[in-house]
Structure 1
């Protein structure tokens, strides 16, 4: 609505006078009547002309004097029209803090300052919008166009982290805490904000009023606060400033003891600015979940089975239990979880493994020992000098004794082609080992040997360069890589 001049009140004019200045206005009105009465009598006595001039104030600031107040009305009405078009969703208030105070004078001087007054009015906050402020701990944080939008913003702030349907059920609930929760469901017990949030009707600049989505973004992002920062590996002043949306000069202002040439070290404490949420959503809910109970594994020994043999005599089965939790979250992140009740609906079944313990001298344990006294591997299995090297070579031992890799029966002890002096041992568990290039042999065919027993002396018989042991491993008749069986 355009601001209209009250034609019947020429003594003291003001736009939309706030209640807090009502007494002041009444007193000024009475004073103006007294002035009029006095001036009227004076005029009659002196028959001199009387002129009206107008003093313009914004709040308590004096802007100047004008001869015709119509220009002020026209200017304010124009502002109202412009801002109503610019902000169609807002209720605009123009001139709330503008006062026009008339004065009657006998001698009118050239005191009209209309251009200066209008120019000064442009710089004053005389156009305001009716808004609802969301106030956090007595400090306005965001301004919205209406109470409905403020309520919507608060609800959206909460339902970012809580399912909307569940939140509605919470709001509509009758507070019956004994209501049972089914498996896979959850029931919200409480929703609070970490800070006190209230609503307040205010007048603000129209540009300060934001949409609901912008309000949510601002509430989520929070406000910039000074915070400590510990220097990390690879940090320099520029990267620290950039990571916290600061310029290097702003970072140095926060840390006056530093300059651009300062050396910073890992662990040094600095001050930065980072956003801190002004309010967080706390929620507590009860939920029931069906969870698996892992089965245990039990190993049982059986002296009727050979050592190195094992079998699964009972398969394991996971159990099932229903757990009821009370969960507390802050902005959707878990902060506390407490078990309220637990019920086993299916007991787990142990997995049972039976291992043999029976040992006979001619049967290997399945684990191969190092066949020499120290030494190192001078050549691995694989292609070498254009041929496939079938085993590994062990050289430079502490002494030249050759040892049986496991319990077994000697199946060959003699000379065989390029192997030179050779010993073969059948470990009677599917495995066989071969020892070649021996200088001498200490065992004979059919002899039972034990793991670690001396079976010969390392040498360089057959096709050999230097003293070493050539060692091969077979399993179920297939050549294997000894490195897969030796702990080296």
Structure 2
């Protein structure tokens, strides 16, 4: 073998080695490129690796379409999806559906909606403007239908503004949810100071609050059955988010009460009354304008009244006839024995209209003369009182009685027992207060008393 042949063989070997080396490099490069993965994360939280970026984009788009179909509006993702070169994981790669599920758990969805602002405060969000307008109309209709009568006008004093903006998907309400939120509003607590004689039932009725709820809201009270003046009661009432005033015209029928007229009749004995004509109520038609605020009746203005049936007066005849047999003589029998403790006339800055005759409680009191009983019952400071009309303008009064033995309209004879001494009314001890009146004017009884 000569030298030129050796050189050629060497060159061939070098070429073969270089080719093999290039093939190895290409194989290594191909394997490396095919083994590359992409790490997906949201807000720094690693979700997993995917084979390529197209899987991420398709999963993102599917997420948007899913919520767009559900909410029917423009959608945006609150957080960004970050894709970077990753390292192969032992648990493998995420497919498109697995990545979609992880994205849904990690990303907050915002939807373009219409926010309802009332008096500059954002109160709720619905999917679009037409929904917001229908909700507001439904609130008005709720109050309109809840008040009787013919609609005159509806007034909404609050400022309402509809603003389009992105909100969280779970903040978008359905029409019914939005209407109920406006109507129910918030609970507002007020206080009420108890007045003399008031009960929880009175307060609950006046403020249109169920009694059970009022009791539950006032556990600080010592007793729900007994209140003391000055006690503070807490009142919880619903304050709607939107104020709606409804004015209605109502037409109703009302009763016109009859009058009672008393006429004198000398054919009937004095002290007696006889109904000559029964009364009948009348009837009228009333038209009025009623104002309701948030469903609560606030005021009423009468527009017109039309009488449909006039009332018929009740006529009572008052007897003036004097029974001569029972007419007093003008000289009276002492109604009870005893010591006079207070005389007729001025007494301690006041005028005493009779005489006080002291005796023990239960002592019999007798009619000072014949007559007819015109009063028998309680009368203010007199306590238990009997009045006897003796005719001729004469009357006698028997006050502070412990018992009454006669009744109105009864005829009594001179000396007949009509009651007994007592301490009823304004008195400091047992005695009979006795008066003589002539034509209604008190006279000194001592000028008329005899046997």
Q: State the TM-score, normalized to the length of structure 2.
A: 0.48
TM-score, structure 1 length as denominator? 0.45
Larger Cα Rg: Structure 1 or Structure 2?
2
